[in-house]
Structure formats: structure tokens, C-alpha cells
Amino acid sequence: MFGKILVANRGEIACRVMRTCKRLGIATVAVYSEADSNAPHVEMADERIAIGPSPAAQSYLVIEKILDACRQTGAEAVHPGYGFLSERAAFAQALKDAGITFIGPNAAAIEAMGDKIESKRRADAAGVSTVPGGKGALASVEEALEIAEEIGYPVMIKASAGGGGKGMRIANSAAEVKDGFDRARSEAASSFGDERVFVEKFITEPRHIEIQVLGDKHGNVIHLLERECSIQRRNQKVLEEAPSPLLDPDTRAAMGAQAVALAKAVDYDSAGTVEFVASQNADFYFLEMNTRLQVEHPVTELITGVDLVEEMIRVAAGEPLRLTQDDIVPRGWAVESRLYAEDPDRNFLPSIGRLKRLAFPAETTGETTVRVDTGVVEGSEISRFYDPMIAKIVTHGPTRAAAVETMSEALDEVVIDGIRHNGLFLGALMAHPRWREGALSTGFIANEFEGKGAADLTAEARRTMAAAAIASTARQAQRRAGFGPHPAAQLDRLCAVFEDDTRLDASVAGSWDNWRLEFADGPLEVILDSDAGGLWRGRIGGKAIVMGLRHAPPRLAMSWRGMRAGIRVARPPVADLLAMMPKKSEADGGKKLLCPMPGLVVSLSVAAGDTVEDGQQLAVIEAMKMENVLRSERAGTIKSVHVAEGDSLPVDTVILEFE
């Protein structure tokens, strides 16, 4: 077994790998860029080596810098995590040439499977079902159009070296092929240093299901069941679960057998994932193989009891697999939510800044499990240079319903201040009837949450939030009157006024932590345990409740189960006056194009004096490794352009103005 392992990554996956290393008694080495000098993974490691400037292309992606860090520290092996150099055959080979073990598959397997074009050829040869499409890299957009016409729309243009939703575009027409071809090639070049793309048929209402495989250096390969990863946004996974609600035992066995056959065909000798696209009737086709540890590996670990990082390390050290296929039996259900630094109310654009307040649900084990994988702490900086992930929250239970309910409760306990994030959106997903039923597809978010970052308030939620807000306000009144219960602070009647002018009146009796509220539709007992630190904790109507609570005078900002509300609590005469107050209207920003997120200007498509049509491309902004096309929302003439290509822009910078 290795004595020292260098982790060639950052963030949550670096911390995840180090936890297993520490449990196995293996010393760890962290590498870090300038942006990560104070990152948790750096503090967690036994040794740490600086490897350059913040951009990944000048630090985490430079093979020679990783090799030099190994030489400086005497690291015997390197775990690449996911992303960065994890699927670079040249990196695996360079380590081998230097006498350092790569904790991953052999370079030949990476080269065969990491390239989506070659992997499709290999899958065909191994008898694996494949999606109709081109057999090689596209030489031109004309070739892409020819193949698209042959196989029929919609099609997907994909980067051969891609992953994580980057370098991928769905096209429903020739015009979209032309635009998607350029964008996919540009993203592929900037993210992977390889601009090759190919085209294949896009399966309508598809499901994304993948099989976890594990091989050793002695020819043994098994699979560790499947993961359903259909809940995606812009081809980026948002929720994952294991097992899949779609598969029956026969389909699961067939899919697993194909994944193992493909892995054996390329002498695969580590953890990897064979991804399939499946129709709603469970027909499935090979999509790609990821020759690395997946972001969503924790759900597999929770249903199988296997530490995949440990198995990767043992296999890399030359040990034969300790497991057979018969040992892999599913236990319960697991769900993973990816908590991202992005703004659901601005079309999920990236959000950067300092985490001024950060709290996650407590990790638990037992009948239900809560696990949090993260690489940040309170005070950490979310940078524009890297992936916007804050944490992965993973839950496990004896049934799917139990795992989902545990996740709903866990998401209610997330507190993040300083940036925008998708926690409330994840809570809304958990509560959605289609998700609860397992009726999934990769278009689920686009179909069900178009333009929405939260769920609509239900009558039950209004009553529950109103009760919590009234109890907190009544306690605050008592606090002002003197610490602890005080007769002078008793409030006999209060109204909860929502931002949409909905009003719930209640008579109030009780003190400090125990209240009885009488609403028009009946009484409600409220026990208030705590309303500090961004959370309201207590019991309402006998039910344990945790909800988000922030003081944003004159309102309380509240969130619960994917819903949110701004509530102003007042006495009835004041509530009557509030209803008469004029509403503020938002300023008209229609004559300006503002930068929707901090990012880099990749290209400008217009100049002062140009006439543009509705929907015409104006600029491309790159943020967190994704290119975002900004289009005109109306026809008009460009009055002035205020930025240049290559500029780094803060959010809401004026890019251009219309006449």
C-alpha cells in the first residue's frame, strides 16, 4: 500500500479523497493555485505545494507542475479526482514514465474511452447498443448539417473530449446546428484543449442512466448497479439517485452486462462509469464512458456499502478485487443534490463572492443517512475560475420515499449568505409530484421549472410560514420589553401580510417559546425553539419544522420546502394601511444590456450603429467554464458598446446600449 498520495485536484473531491486516505493511514499532498491558497483541501492535507496562478490552464491542468510536486514531496501515487487531468491519457502516461502510480485506469483505456468518438467505435465492436450518428469528428459545419439531415432532428453536437455538460449543444434545426457547432467547438477548446466535436441523434424525452464499473489489474471487472441522472439543466446533472426508478431486474442485468463487456474489451482496471441514454420504455443506448470517479459516486457508495475511493487505491496498488458480482446487492435508496453557487432567478447564472454565513445539515447515520461532501467553509471564496459547486448533500433511506423526504428536511437546514445559490430550487424539485413519482427525463427542469427558481406557495405553507413569522415577531416584542416572558409584551392580535397582499390574521396567546394562534380556519399551537442563525426551529401544529428565516426589515424573508415568502407582521390597523400603500415599479432597463454574471467577454457580435433583430446574438460571456450567449430581446439599433473582447466584467456591468 502507498505511503503518500498526491491529490491532483481541489474543492470537495480533493477533501473526499483525503478522508479515505486518512482512514487508511496514507499521508496526503495537496496542490493549490493562488485562488486556493487558503482552501480547506490545502489545510486538510499533510503537505501542500503551490502550483501557479488561479486559471486552471496555468495550474491544475499543467502536467509538469503536478509531476514536480510529486518529486518535491516523494508522493508515490496520484489521485486525480474528477475534471482537470483525470481523463488525460498523457497525464497517466507521464506519471508512469516518472515511476509514479496513477490511481485510475491505464492510459490506453483512457485514450480509448475518454475520447467519445473512439469509445463509440469500441462499444460497437463490443456489441453494446449505440445511438445513431456520425462515426468520427466533424470536419466542418456542412458535414454536421449533412449528418443531422440524414438521422433527423433533434441532434446533439458533443465535444469528443467533453464532460460535465461542456461542449454540448442540442439542435432542432439547421440554424441551431450552425450556432451549436461554433459554441461546442469553442467550449471544447477552452475547457479540454481539444476542439473536436461529433453529432448524434438526440433521444426525445430521454433518461440518463449510468452503470458504475470497477476493474483490477488481473482481468476482473464487476458493476456496482446503476445511477439515474436524468434531472439535468443545460446537460449538467443536478440530482442523482440510485437505483433507478425505471429499471426492472432484467433491464438492470442487461445494462450491467453491456457495461462490463465494454470495460473488459479495453482492459479497464479502475473505477469508471458507462453512461447510457434510455427511452421511457427502457430501451437503452451507449452514450459515453467516463474513465474516472464520478461526481455522483456517493449514491452508489450508500446503496452498496463500498468506498469507491478505497477500491481505486487498492486496485492501483495491484490488489485484486475484494468483491464479486454476487457481493453487490442494493440496500435501500440514495439521492444526491448538487448545491451550486448560481442564481435561479437569473436563469441559473453563476454567482461568486464570499460565503459570509454557511451551515449544512448535520451528518447522520442509522435508518436514514445524511452525508455532506464539501470543499468550502464559512468565509471561503467562490471564484469565477472553477466549477460553482458548494457541496453535495446525499441522503439514504430504506425506500425512495424515505430518502427523498430526508433530503427535503436536509435542504431546509442549509444556510448560505454572501452569494446566490440553488438550495431553494433543489427543495422545490424534491417536492414536485413528478419527481416524487419517478416520472423523469432530461427535459424535466426545462418543462416544469421554466423561469422559476422556487415552488409556488401552497395554502399549507402560507399558514405554516405565517405562524412561524408571528411567533418570532411576538418573541421579539417580548425581548424588547425585557429578557424573557414579560406581560407588557403580550400581543393579542397580529396579521401576517405576504408580498402578494395575502393576509392571515391570528389572535395570539402565550409567551416566549409557547404560543397559541387562532386563525380564521382554526387554532395552531407553535413551539419556538430558536429563530437565530438563519433558521427557524420548532413545532407547528405538532409537526417538527425547520425553515429559513432572515430579517430583512420591514419583512421576514422565509423559505421552506422549496417555497419562499416575504412576510410583514403587523397589528390589524397597520395591516389595513399597508394595503393602501402604492406599489414600487421596477426601473426600465430595456435600453441596456447588462452582464448577467461576473465573467469574461469571449466575443462581441455587434458594434455601434448596427441594426439587430429580436433574438440576435450580441455577445458571449464565459463564466465558470461555460459560455453564455446573450441575445437581443427586441429589434433595434446599437447606440454604443462599452466593453471589449477579453474584458473581465462584474455582474450588471453595462455591455451596450440601444438607441
The residue extents of the domains of the chain are: 4-103, 132-201, 208-230+249-448, 459-578, 592-658
Q: Are 128 and 165 spatial neighbours (Cβ–Cβ below 8 Å)?
A: no
The residues annotated with a catalytic role in the active site are 288
Q: Are 105 and 272 spatial neighbours (Cβ–Cβ below 8 Å)?
A: yes
Question: Cell 410560514 maps to which residue?
Answer: 465
Residue 551: pLDDT over 70: yes
Strand order in the sheet with 636-641: 592-594, 654-658, 636-641, 611-612
pLDDT of residue 635: 86
Q: Which residues does 564 contact at the CB level (< 8 Å), separation at least 6? A: 424, 454, 548, 557, 558
Overall residue count recorded for the chain in this entry: 659
* Rounded percentage of the chain residues whose pLDDT exceeds 70: 97
- CATH of 459-578, picked from 3.30.700.30, 3.40.50.2000, 3.90.220.20, 3.40.50.1110, is 3.30.700.30
Residue 588: pLDDT over 60: no
Residue 88: pLDDT over 90: yes
Cell (9 digits) for 597 = 454574471
Cell (9 digits) for 383 = 471564484
The answer to whether the 4-103 and 132-201 domains have the same CATH topology is no
pLDDT of residue 132: 79
Rounded Cα distance between 497 and 572, Å, is 10
pLDDT of residue 559: 97
Question: Cell 473581465 maps to which residue?
Answer: 648
Nearest by Cα to 464 from 376, 529, 380, 524 = 524
Grade residue 488 by pLDDT with cuts at 50, 70 and 90: very low
Rounded Cα distance between 653 and 659, Å, is 18
Beta partners for 629? 620
- What is the pTM (predicted TM-score) of this model? 0.85
- Report the range of poorest mean pLDDT among 214-228, 271-285, 360-374, 576-590: 576-590
Instruction: Express each pLDDT in 227-238 by its tens digit.
Output: 999 999 888 899
pLDDT of residue 72: 98
- Residue range 616-641: mean pLDDT, rounded: 86
- Report the range of poorest mean pLDDT among 83-87, 233-237, 432-436: 233-237
- CATH of 592-658, picked from 2.60.40.10, 1.10.3720.10, 2.40.50.100, 3.40.50.720, is 2.40.50.100
Beta partners for 274? 211, 289
- Residue range 31-46: mean pLDDT, rounded: 97
pLDDT of residue 586: 54
pLDDT of residue 96: 97
* Segment holding 472, helix H or strand E: helix 459-481
pLDDT of residue 485: 53
| 3 state DSSP class of 77 | strand
* Segment holding 541, helix H or strand E: none
- Report the range of poorest mean pLDDT among 107-116, 301-310, 479-488, 522-531: 479-488
Residue 143: pLDDT over 90: yes
Instruction: Select, from the ranges 228-237, 585-594, 617-626, the one with the highest average predicted confidence (pLDDT).
Output: 228-237
pLDDT of residue 166: 77
pLDDT of residue 76: 98
* Rounded percentage of the chain residues whose pLDDT exceeds 90: 74
- Residue range 209-216: mean pLDDT, rounded: 98
Count of beta carbons in the 10 Å neighbourhood of residue 124: 13
Write down the mean pLDDT value for the chain: 92
Q: Which residues does 384 contact at the CB level (< 8 Å), separation at least 6? A: 350, 352, 598, 599, 623, 624
- Report the range of poorest mean pLDDT among 147-151, 235-239, 375-379, 447-451: 447-451
Beta partners for 173? none
Instruction: Express each pLDDT in 382-394 by its tens digit.
Output: 988 898 899 999 9
Instruction: Express each pLDDT in 345-364 by its tens digit.
Output: 888 888 889 999 999 999 99
Count of beta carbons in the 10 Å neighbourhood of residue 253: 12
pLDDT of residue 456: 92
- CATH of 208-230+249-448, picked from 3.30.565.10, 3.40.390.10, 3.40.190.10, 3.30.470.20, is 3.30.470.20
SS3 per residue for 273-331:
EEEEEECCCCCEEEEEEECCCCCCHHHHHHHHCCCHHHHHHHHHCCCCCCCCHHHCCCC
Which CATH superfamily groups domain 132-201?
ATP-grasp fold, A domain (3.30.1490.20)
Count of beta carbons in the 10 Å neighbourhood of residue 398: 12
pLDDT of residue 329: 94
Q: What is the DSSP string of 415-453?
A: EEESS--SHHHHHHHHH-HHHHHT---TTHHHHH-TT-S
Q: Are 595 and 651 spatial neighbours (Cβ–Cβ below 8 Å)?
A: yes
Domain 4-103 in CATH 3.40.50.20? The answer is yes
pLDDT of residue 625: 64
Q: Which residues does 408 contact at the CB level (< 8 Å), separation at least 6? A: 427, 430, 431, 561, 562
**Sign (positive/negative) of CA torsion 509, 510, 513, 515?**
negative
